[in-house]
């Protein structure tokens, strides 16, 4: 049985808790769905499952679907977002194993679970559900370009899979702690699974993508902030179109540029060097000013996960001195992150 999730009510009703499936992934950045659920919805995750030659782990107990079902799991989530969103044939026997163990399947890939005959037939015979969350709402509008009320922040990046979602989630939470009315707006499958609602921007037909971004952050109270999860990169050789549509449709008042320390080429495209942060800020402001002339960059979110603490703070301080703006690693927090939050909210009263 196929189910497409596109509304808050439907998403909130997803069968939980989850077993996270890592497939045969060897690139940690492609396991961002599993990592995101582990970090932001840990109470909904009972364990992980994978092919024998998997190269990554979310650090959860390894459970077979049978054992996960006994531990209370109700669904297995594909925790991988590989290039093109493809479900390899090698995964099919393990996905069938989950259905046979009594688990529903939840997928966020471009390839729909229900388009795979073997899974569709098994789910029908076993009375299980195949749930696709990378399904945009019907009847999306073409963008109007009309300015909306409320405040908006968009995370943009030098590349994919380097912290745009984590930055948006952490900033939204920090705004709320300061007493600011704020919502996280999910634009990808992992964010939708965490938040319970959103629009998967990379599954929207191109003509309607900016309109989808407008729908994602509608008119709001003048003091309300929507903190919008960015996608891709404006300089990405494959995904820049999604990023630009999200930028134009979001009409952000503020952007925070995200980067991973030490990354020098586009993930999966070693022949493409990453743009500099200076160029990334300039490009975001130039293109974003088309729909919001008052757009500004509040600072940089620097992913320092591969550094020890002392080295991370040296890198943060050095980059802040170089750029003349706040730089912080939201996961590490601290005074530098407080400064970034203050910079984001600096014009709130205007």
* SS3 category, 132: strand
Per CATH, the number for 2-132 is: 3.40.50.720
Domain boundary assignment for the chain = 2-132, 151-344
| Rounded Cα–Cα distance for residues 85 and 83 (Å) | 6
Please list the residues that pair with 301 across neighbouring strands: 258, 328
Whole-model pTM: value is: 0.87
CA-wise closest residue to 45 among 77, 9, 13: 77
Taking a C-beta distance cutoff of 8 angstroms, is the pair 14, 106 a contact? yes
What's the pLDDT at 85?
82
The CATH class of 151-344 is: alpha beta
Give residue for tokens 């493809």.
86
Same fold, 2-132 and 151-344: yes
Q: Say if residues 312 and 301 touch (Cβ distance below 8 Å).
A: no
What pLDDT does residue 179 have?
Answer: 97
β-sheet with 130-132: strand ranges across: 2-4, 130-132, 104-107, 75-78, 18-21, 45-49
Give the chain's length: 350
CB 251 within 8 A of CB 147: yes
Q: 335 CB contacts (<8 Å, ≥6 apart)? A: none
Question: Alpha helices of the chain — where are they, by DSSP H?
Answer: 8-12, 32-40, 65-70, 92-100, 117-126, 164-177, 189-195, 209-216, 240-250, 277-288, 309-323, 335-344
Tens-level pLDDT at each residue, the chain (350 residues) = 555 444 433 444 789 999 999 999 888 888 989 999 999 999 999 999 999 878 899 999 999 999 999 999 999 999 998 877 889 999 999 999 999 999 999 999 889 999 999 999 999 999 999 999 988 998 999 999 999 999 999 999 999 989 999 999 999 999 999 999 999 999 999 999 999 889 999 999 999 999 999 999 999 999 999 999 999 999 999 999 999 999 999 999 999 999 999 999 999 899 999 999 999 999 999 999 999 999 999 999 999 999 999 999 999 999 999 999 999 999 999 999 999 999 999 974 44
User: Which residues, other chains included, contact 67 with Cβ-Cβ below 8 Å and sequence gap of 6+?
Assistant: 47
Dihedral sign for Cα atoms in the order 105, 110, 112, 118: negative
Q: Compute the half-sphere exposure of residue 150: CA atoms within 13 Å on the CB side of its CA.
A: 23
Residues 255/154, Cβ–Cβ less than 8 Å: yes
CA separation for the pair 49, 65 (Å, rounded): 7
């Amino acid at each position: 049985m196929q189910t497409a999730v596109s509304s808050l009510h439907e998403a909130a009703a997803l069968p939980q808790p989850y077993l996270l499936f890592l497939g045969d992934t060897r690139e940690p950045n492609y396991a961002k769905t599993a990592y995101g659920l582990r970090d932001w919805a840990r109470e909904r995750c009972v364990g992980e499952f994978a092919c024998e030659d998997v190269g990554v782990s979310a650090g959860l107990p390894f459970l077979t679907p049978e054992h996960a079902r006994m531990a209370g799991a109700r669904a297995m989530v594909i925790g991988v977002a590989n290039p093109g969103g493809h479900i390899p044939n090698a995964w099919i026997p393990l996905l069938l194993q989950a259905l046979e163990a009594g688990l529903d399947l939840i997928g966020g890939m471009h390839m729909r679970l229900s388009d795979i005959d073997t899974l569709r037939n098994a789910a029908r015979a076993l009375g299980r559900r195949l749930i696709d969350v990378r399904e945009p709402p019907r009847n999306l509008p073409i963008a109007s370009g009309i300015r909306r009320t409320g405040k908006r922040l968009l995370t943009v990046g030098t590349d994919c899979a380097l912290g745009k979602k984590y930055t948006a989630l952490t900033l939204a939470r920090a705004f709320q702690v300061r007493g600011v009315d704020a919502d996280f707006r999910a634009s990808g499958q992992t964010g939708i699974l965490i938040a319970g609602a959103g629009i998967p921007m990379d599954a929207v037909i191109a003509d309607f993508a900016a309109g989808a971004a407008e729908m994602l952050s509608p008119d709001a109270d003048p003091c309300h902030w929507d903190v919008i999860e960015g996608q891709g990169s404006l300089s990405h050789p494959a995904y820049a179109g999604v990023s630009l549509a999200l930028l134009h449709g979001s009409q952000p008042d503020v952007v925070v540029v995200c980067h991973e320390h030490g990354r020098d080429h586009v993930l999966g495209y070693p022949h493409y060097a990453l743009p500099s942060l200076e160029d990334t800020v300039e490009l975001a402001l130039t293109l974003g000013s088309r729909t919001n002339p008052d757009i500004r960059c509040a600072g940089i979110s620097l992913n320092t996960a591969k550094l020890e603490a002392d080295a991370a703070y040296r890198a943060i301080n050095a980059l802040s001195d170089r750029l003349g703006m706040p730089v912080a690693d939201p996961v590490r927090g601290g005074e530098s992150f407080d400064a970034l939050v203050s910079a984001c909210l600096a014009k709130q009263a205007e």
